[in-house]
Structure 1
């Protein structure tokens, strides 16, 4: 019996011998076996979790490696990415389509250019005829404009010629001795002078202001032949002042200005004491008016010559 018990104790945990043990010992063995099984299951679960974690880490590492390769070696021959290859193939296909479209457009453009050249060659004679007509029309328009300009210049010259007569009737103190103007003409000229747009009236008003500034009496005077008259001295001073202004400005003498007094000298008053204001104004202003008319005519001729040369050159082209 003792030998049997010792053998049973040695073979503890075996199912065949558990029936020979007493009840408390059997329960302990069963509990131990359950605990061992639970521990084994937990170990297996932990191992599985570790494997999953390792797989996840490997995948993350692979993704990181792929990203690095895409960033630093996108065209590496050792890197294989099917998505990129598909994209490249699609891009190549699109490029081929674009090239084909461009070739078709180029061919269409060539055809259109050939058609246009053909039409231009056919209509060359008609276009030349139209150009000639346009050129003739332009010449006619230019001639009309020149005629209008000449008419305007003639009107301006006529207004300038009236400046001498208009200057005589600006002030009641100033009258002509040899030429008494009719009352109707005086009233007509006075109306012209009152209009601000009258160029002749402006020149006459300027003359009156200059005379008043120099304090020249607007009436005929007689003096001795030896002593210089106050009229001559005042006129010479006004003319000298005006000549300085003209030299500074570099402009031509305006119509209706006091001129010629320095050339006549100090005894101008004595020499002109028996002359009328008409003769004095005529001697002073008419030469300058003639010079201005000649200059204007020369300028018109030069402009006409230049226009003719331009027209000839355009026609030759």
Structure 2
């Protein structure tokens, strides 16, 4: 008991000194308190100082260690699963690209008049005969020229040729169907947007046009709104375009063979979809092996 009293007296003296010196760090207080006996009676209650806290800490460490092991196990399983999913996505994307390519190179069919039938024919080649109305051209911009072979090589890469201009959309009166539709005649560079700069390419008389059916599209994020008054269009809004030109909301991209010297370059249908899934597969599976 005398030893216990001596320790308590010494601890009381040290704590009093610490209170009088606020600059002493908490590390010093911890050092002193750890030298107290494991237990003592205080006001009739039994208080445990060291053993309970150490056992609790040991239990917490075991839980953390178990959780960490499970977490490490989940990493390779997750990365392998993501890689497998991206491989399936890649196969689906390649099949879709093949299907679009097949549609855009198939033998053209007559343009149907049934709007419901047209909705199921996007990217299908059709044939129409009639006359262009060059006085009501519309311009979709900015656009860069389509190079199918280059885009196939660089599929999935973000980049641009650096050349920008516009796609020329011209009303086309179909003499065999008795309706007026919209035809994307193709790409012109910026300095050739105005019709007077390319008069030789303004086709006159009745012609046959083969093109690809396109449907209206929703404005994507960050794409500006169409400016009808300034004739600056950024996406296909067939209802609005038809309202300005008097055409039906029917739209086709003229194929490359429609190109005329000095006129728009046809064949501006982009069918190459971004296909980065192989890169993702490599990323996830390599990460799986590393882990």
Q: Give the TM-score normalised by structure 1.
A: 0.35
Q: Which has the higher contact order (CA 8 A, sep 6+)?
A: 2
More helix by share: 1
